[in-house]
């Protein structure tokens, strides 16, 4: 597969790694939207080059990751205000390869109905499977999809959670391949912890996922936090790699949603409005 020609996909910033995973004199080969890239570290600066043409790409370091773009984005990275709060800890999980469309990864991240079955006894239990009605909207002012008033019973909501709780969630799809979750902070209910999934779509049906956790948590070690996130993600990967078709179908005939899938319905409508083609299943109903 070669580099996509879909401008909707090209004109965005994407994570391609973490600064600490790069070392001087050891270029790293990676892929973005079907194009081969070479990342490097020289003179203290991170570089990204489109390998085939040698074209230097713009690079931004933010939120603990390296970002680049193959196109000309009309706006910068999504603002995440919690990164300005000085008492928070950032744990980044690093690259996890998934043989699935990045769009499927976002939908899985938004979904709560799978907690009792995929994250059994951690994020959900089978005898409390109900997804209560929640709200979801495409916010036109910021061009993002938000799901609010989400609630789910969780036996172990986070690395440092002691006993079960009713978790309150807020989901924010900031970009087609960037999604955030805001959860009530266990140690300070007035604040929210942020969990992010930053996706590097290498090809239409393959992605690299970078999860991060930005918490007000004085108790758990960074290792415990990362381990918790990785456990959750590896459970999801079994699902993600076995969904068919691999690319996201937008036709309502292909896949049947229920009320619990409100955020997925909004996300797919949003993607359709944008005219995204990369990662979208071609066989669309008329």
Partner 1 sequence: MTLADPMSAAQPPPRWIPVALSADIAPATPVPVLLDGRELVVWRGTGGAVRVWEDRCPHRGMRLSFGFVRGDTLACLYHGWRFGLDAGCTAIPAHPDLEPPKTLSARSFAVAEAGGLVFTTGSPDRPAAPPPVPDGMTPVRSLLVAAPVETVRARLASAGLEPSGDLGRMARADGPALLLAVHGLDGDRTMLHALAEGDVAGADLHTAMDALERLRHSLEEADA
Largest CA distance in the chain: 56
Q: Which C-beta is closer to partner 1: that of 11 or that of 255? A: 255
Query: Residue 235 Cβ, how far from partner 1 at the closest point, in Å?
Result: 10
Query: Residue 163 Cβ, how far from partner 1 at the closest point, in Å?
Result: 23
Query: Residue 119 Cβ, how far from partner 1 at the closest point, in Å?
Result: 11
Lookup result for tokens 């713009």:
58
Query: Residue 31 Cβ, how far from partner 1 at the closest point, in Å?
Result: 24
* Cβ–Cβ under 8 Å, residues 41 and 28: no
Query: Residue 1 Cβ, how far from partner 1 at the closest point, in Å?
Result: 20
Q: Which C-beta is closer to partner 1: that of 80 or that of 265? A: 265
Tokens of 129: 């499977």
Distance (Å, rounded) from C-alpha 239 to C-alpha 117?
Answer: 11
Query: Residue 8 Cβ, how far from partner 1 at the closest point, in Å?
Result: 23
Q: Which C-beta is closer to partner 1: that of 102 or that of 116? A: 116
Listed in sequence order, the residues at least 6 apart from 180 whose beta carbon sits closer than 8 Å to its beta carbon are 80, 171, 172, 173, 174, 194, 195, 196, 197
Listed in sequence order, the residues at least 6 apart from 5 whose beta carbon sits closer than 8 Å to its beta carbon are none
Q: Which C-beta is closer to partner 1: that of 103 or that of 159? A: 103
* Cβ–Cβ under 8 Å, residues 232 and 226: no
Distance (Å, rounded) from C-alpha 113 to C-alpha 216?
Answer: 27
Which of 170, 3, 173, 15 lies closest to 93 in space, CA to CA? 15
Name the site residues for partner 1 (rule: CB under 8 A): 107, 111-114, 116-118, 126, 129-131, 238-239, 242-245, 249, 254-260, 264
Q: Which C-beta is closer to partner 1: that of 131 or that of 216? A: 131
Q: Which C-beta is closer to partner 1: that of 53 or that of 251? A: 251
Task: Count CB atoms within 10 A of the CB of residue 18.
Answer: 18
* Cβ–Cβ under 8 Å, residues 114 and 185: no
């Amino acid at each position: 597969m070669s580099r996509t020609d879909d401008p909707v996909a090209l004109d965005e910033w994407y994570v391609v790694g973490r600064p600490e995973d790069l070392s001087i004199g050891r270029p790293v080969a990676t892929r973005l939207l079907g194009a081969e890239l070479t990342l490097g570290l020289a003179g203290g600066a991170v570089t990204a080059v489109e390998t085939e043409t040698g074209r230097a790409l713009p690079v931004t370091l933010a939120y603990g990751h390296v970002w680049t773009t193959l196109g000309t984005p009309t706006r910068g990275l999504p603002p995440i205000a919690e990164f300005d709060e000085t008492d928070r800890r950032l744990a980044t999980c690093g690259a996890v390869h998934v043989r699935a469309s990045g769009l499927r990864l976002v939908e899985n991240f938004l979904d709560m109905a799978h907690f009792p079955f995929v994250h059994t006894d951690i994020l959900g239990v089978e005898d409390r499977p109900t997804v209560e009605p929640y709200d979801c909207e495409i916010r036109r002012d910021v061009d993002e999809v938000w799901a609010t008033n989400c609630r789910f019973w969780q036996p172990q909501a986070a690395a440092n959670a002691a006993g079960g709780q009713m978790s309150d969630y807020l989901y924010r799809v900031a970009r087609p391949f960037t999604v955030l979750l805001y959860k009530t902070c266990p140690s300070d209910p007035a604040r929210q912890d942020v969990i992010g999934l930053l996706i590097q779509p290498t090809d239409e049906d393959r992605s690299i996922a970078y999860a991060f956790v930005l918490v007000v948590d004085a108790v758990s070690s960074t290792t415990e936090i990362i381990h918790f996130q990785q456990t959750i993600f590896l459970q999801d990967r079994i699902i993600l790699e076995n969904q068919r078709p691999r690319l996201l179908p937008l036709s309502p005939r292909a896949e049947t949603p229920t009320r619990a899938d409100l955020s997925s319905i909004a996300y797919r409508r949003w993607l359709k409005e944008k005219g995204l083609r990369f990662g979208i299943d071609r066989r669309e109903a008329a």
